Amino acid sequence: MREDTTLRVALEKPAVVPAVAYRRMQKLLSTFRIASILGATVVSAVPFLWLVVTGFKYRTDIMSPVPRLFFTPTLSNFHEAFIEGAFLRYLWNSLVVALGTVALCLVTGVPAAYAFSRFRVFGAKHLFFFILTTRMAPGVAFALPLYILFDKLRLLGSIPGVVLAHTTFNLALVIYLMKALFDEVPREIDHAALVDGYSEWETFTRVIVPVAKPAIAATALLAFIFSWNEFLFALILGGEAGRTLPAAFPGLVTALGTYWGQLAAASAVVSIPVIVLATLVQGYLVRGLTLGAVKG
């Protein structure tokens, strides 16, 4: 009887060892994932937190050779930049330009993407490629032509001019992303809507657009971020009246020195809207960027 028990234990033991090893491997993988997430969080969050903290420091604390973790906070940098300076107006300009760019891109880009996806037009592939070329070349290649064009149209130094410039480059992104989504939506949905008596426009607005809401939200967020952070054309075309917040940063670097406190305060403020929007629409962002929510 004892020999049978010993034999049974010996036969069962090899099956137990792989199970224990598997659990240990799972724990190691779980620990590695957690460590990777924490590491990525630290790498992403520490620079922004350091920027925010710098905005609340006096100049003596900022210029200290040894970083000071404990200091007397102050709002003077924010007051000098946004109350005494013109950064509050630049912040408003940034908001108007970004929202205007998103509105124009969605109103024109989403229907255009649907047309590229659903209708067969002669030369459509070449036209689609031509639209995408605005994203292929560096922005500086378009700076001089746009400057001359906007000068003739009397759009230099104005918010509408900056909005049109940003729309020129973000429109290609919107069309590209939305066309990828519409290509994944089964055409049977369109046919069913047409059979029910909907027109092409009603099919697009009442059937396809609701399906594409997550992708539209994700695309709108990307267009907003690109417009909000854009520097070159806001600096060249905006002038003083259409200057956005990123284009105003060079004004804090002067021959007398760099206003690091105000620069940090303004940089922290310019980052907040993007973080808030990304947090609010993160569900739409994750679903929208998959660009394949509907399967045939």
Q: Looking at the structure, do residues 117 and 50 belong to the same domain, yes or no?
A: no
Q: Looking at the structure, do residues 40 and 159 belong to the same domain, yes or no?
A: no
pLDDT band of 296, cuts 50, 70, 90: very low
Domain assignment of residue 71, yes or no: no
Query: 185 or 10, which is more confident?
Result: 185
Give the total number of structural domains in the chain: 2
Instruction: Supply the CATH number for residue 169's domain.
Output: 1.10.3720.10
3-state DSSP call for residue 268?
helix
Q: Looking at the structure, do residues 145 and 257 belong to the same domain, yes or no?
A: yes
3-state DSSP call for residue 79?
helix
DSSP 9-34: HHHHHHHHHHHHHHHHHHHHHHHHHH
Q: Looking at the structure, do residues 274 and 167 belong to the same domain, yes or no?
A: yes
Structure tokens at 293: 């929510």
pLDDT score of 13 more than 60? no
Domain assignment of residue 202, yes or no: yes
Q: Looking at the structure, do residues 279 and 239 belong to the same domain, yes or no?
A: yes
pLDDT band of 108, cuts 50, 70, 90: very high
pLDDT computed for residue 295 by the predictor:
46
Q: Looking at the structure, do residues 50 and 100 belong to the same domain, yes or no?
A: no
Domain assignment of residue 62, yes or no: no
CA distance 242 to 212: 33
Average pLDDT of the chain is 83
pLDDT computed for residue 293 by the predictor:
46
Query: 130 or 245, which is more confident?
Result: 245
What tens digit of pLDDT does each residue of 178-190 get? 888 888 888 888 8
Q: Looking at the structure, do residues 104 and 33 belong to the same domain, yes or no?
A: no
Domain assignment of residue 64, yes or no: no
Domain assignment of residue 63, yes or no: no
pLDDT band of 107, cuts 50, 70, 90: very high
Domain assignment of residue 65, yes or no: no
Q: Looking at the structure, do residues 149 and 233 belong to the same domain, yes or no?
A: yes
Residues spanned by the domain of 149: 85-290
| DSSP, res 270 | H
Q: Looking at the structure, do residues 47 and 113 belong to the same domain, yes or no?
A: no
Nearest CA-CA partner of 131 in 147, 115, 150, 149 = 115
pLDDT score of 294 more than 50? no
Q: Looking at the structure, do residues 43 and 165 belong to the same domain, yes or no?
A: no
pLDDT computed for residue 223 by the predictor:
92
What tens digit of pLDDT does each residue of 23-65 get? 778 888 888 889 998 888 888 888 888 888 888 888 888 888 8
What tens digit of pLDDT does each residue of 148-172 get? 999 999 999 899 999 999 998 899 9
Domain assignment of residue 170, yes or no: yes
Given 35, 55, 75, the domain boundary residue is: 55
Given 55, 71, 98, the domain boundary residue is: 55
Nearest CA-CA partner of 230 in 148, 165, 157 = 165
Residues 94-123 have a mean pLDDT of 90
Q: Looking at the structure, do residues 101 and 238 belong to the same domain, yes or no?
A: yes
pLDDT band of 99, cuts 50, 70, 90: very high
Domain assignment of residue 99, yes or no: yes
Residue found by looking up tokens 């806001």 in the block = 234
Q: Looking at the structure, do residues 145 and 251 belong to the same domain, yes or no?
A: yes
